[in-house]
Amino acid sequence: MYQAILFDVDGTLLSMSGGAFMQDYLGRMANFFDPHTDGNGKQIAKAVATASKAMEEHEGNKTNAQVFWSVFEGLGPWTRAEFEPIFNEF
């Protein structure tokens, strides 16, 4: 069992750009979500990218999770209650 998973998204340990990492990560996410969403994995990955960008850019008193889920749920017919367990599985 894994004790920790470390992400090197800024290229400190590996020579990979954050953009390349996100492109690969979102592609894998889309493939994973396809069977859970009747082939709509790409839409889910796009929604995750948009919600993540909003989370990065937000300033204020909301938590990152609040911003992410608010944006994510607004982009399609999905809910946090429905998708958070699938995200955790991914």
pLDDT digits (tens, 9 = 90+) for 30-67: 999 999 999 999 999 999 999 999 998 988 899 999 99
In this prediction, what percent of the chain has a pLDDT beyond 70? Answer: 90
Q: What is the pTM of this model?
A: 0.78
Distance separating alpha carbons of residues 86 and 18, to the nearest angstrom: 24
How far, in Å, are 6, 10, 12, 87 from residue 3 at the CA level? 10, 22, 21, 19
